[in-house]
């Protein structure tokens, strides 16, 4: 658990380096095969109001597996602005506890596997206005990441 906190702290510090030009913060609960959470900082919208760029840190945790990572996300909104699609790319690091049951080893040794995997995601989402420049959103994404598919519930402010 200490490693998770250390990695998320380092990723948050890295995100804060880019946060000087940030205008929005995004938080979400990620519900899927592995549950987790993410925190994102908007890096501006160079293409105008219909596209947002975020630098996200995320973490997933279960009893036998945990992952933490960073990714760059682009949200492209429709003309009305509430429906959007997203693309994200980054990297995740984690550990998985793998019990090895072998007839040839009387101690039934266990192993922890460390891995670095890509975070490549596509998805769709919808946002609701809840205040001045604040939104609540629900999105569905899928791709190569610790949790193959998620439903994310969150807020941008």
pLDDT score for 103:
46
* Main-chain phi, psi angles of 73, to 5 degrees: -120, 140
Query: What percent of the chain has pLDDT above 70?
Result: 77
pLDDT score for 105:
53
d(CA 123, CA 139): 7
| Domains identified in the chain and CATH numbers | 2-156 (2.40.160.20)
d(CA 116, CA 123): 22
16, 43 Cβ separation under 8 angstroms: no
pLDDT score for 23:
73
pLDDT score for 144:
95
d(CA 131, CA 115): 41
| Predicted confidence (pLDDT) per residue in 10-64, tens digit | 666 655 555 555 578 999 999 998 899 999 999 877 666 789 999 999 999 888 8
* pTM exceeds cut of 0.85: no
Average pLDDT over residues 114-138: 94
β-bridge mates for residue 93, sequence order: 68, 116
More confident residue, 47 or 84: 84
Q: Residue with structure tokens 């947002």? A: 52
Indicate if the pLDDT at residue 140 is higher than 50: yes
pLDDT score for 47:
64
Average pLDDT over residues 146-152: 92
More confident residue, 78 or 45: 78
Instruction: Tally the residues of the chain.
Output: 157
């Amino acid at each position: 658990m200490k490693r998770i906190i250390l990695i998320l702290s380092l990723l948050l510090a890295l995100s804060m380096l880019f946060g000087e030009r940030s205008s929005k913060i995004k938080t979400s609960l990620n519900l899927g095969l592995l549950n987790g959470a993410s925190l994102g900082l908007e890096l501006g919208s160079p293409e105008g109001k219909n596209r947002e760029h975020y630098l996200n840190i995320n973490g997933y945790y279960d009893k036998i597996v945990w992952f933490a990572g960073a990714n760059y996300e682009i949200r492209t909104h429709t003309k009305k602005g509430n429906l959007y699609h997203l693309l994200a790319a980054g990297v995740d690091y984690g550990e998985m506890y793998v019990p090895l049951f072998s007839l040839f080893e009387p101690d039934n040794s266990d192993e922890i596997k460390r891995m670095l995997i890509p975070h490549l995601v596509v998805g769709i989402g919808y946002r609701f206005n809840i205040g001045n420049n604040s939104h609540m959103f629900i999105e569905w994404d899928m791709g190569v990441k610790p949790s193959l598919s998620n439903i994310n519930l969150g807020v941008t402010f």
